[in-house]
């Protein structure tokens, strides 16, 4: 764990290590497997990386400028991201997924207790427990692999 660590750190670290281990087991062909909803496994990993990067940007911005709303239509963002994420090559998928997960975990770990409490109270655009999003998509991707999606 980097930084000060807080109540989110253990879950975030465990899920990040699980994500990194999952990535190491994936072949390039696995990354190209497609789900019925149009996402590939690689695309879903980039989706995770995008939201980890978004959390880092918002937390850093809020530290400097105060917590503010960050409205966005999640479905539009995800649908817009899908073709870009699905098109990324395997090496880039692996790199951006790991780097983004490490960056957001370090950012969450670095939060001062008073600021962390404010984010919990006011910052609904950022989920500090990154494990929840990771676990959701890890289960989804493991299901895709088990089902033998093309």
Residue 73: which CATH number? 1.20.120.450
pLDDT in tens, 115-139: 999 999 987 789 999 999 999 999 9
d(CA 90, CA 32): 8
Taking Cα atoms as reference points, which of 8, 17, 15 lies closest to residue 131? 15
d(CA 47, CA 27): 18
d(CA 42, CA 141): 9
pLDDT in tens, 82-96: 999 999 999 999 999
The residue segments making up the domain with residue 81 are 9-147
Task: Evaluate if pTM is beyond 0.95.
Answer: no
2 belongs to a structural domain: no
| Domain count for the chain | 1
d(CA 135, CA 39): 17
24 belongs to a structural domain: yes
């Amino acid at each position: 764990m980097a930084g000060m660590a807080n109540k989110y750190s253990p879950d975030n670290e465990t899920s990040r290590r699980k994500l990194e281990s999952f990535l190491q087991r994936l072949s390039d062909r696995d990354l190209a497997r497609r789900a019925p909803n149009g996402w590939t496994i690689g695309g879903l990993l980039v989706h995770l990386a995008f939201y980890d990067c978004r959390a880092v940007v918002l937390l850093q911005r809020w530290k400097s400028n105060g917590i503010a709303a960050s409205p966005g239509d999640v479905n539009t963002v995800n649908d817009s991201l899908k073709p870009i994420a699905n098109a990324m090559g395997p090496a880039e998928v692996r790199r951006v997924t790991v780097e983004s997960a490490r960056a957001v975990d370090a950012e969450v770990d670095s939060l001062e207790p008073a600021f962390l409490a404010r984010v919990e109270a006011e910052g609904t655009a950022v989920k500090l427990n990154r494990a929840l999003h990771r676990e959701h998509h890890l289960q989804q991707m493991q299901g895709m692999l088990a089902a033998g999606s093309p």
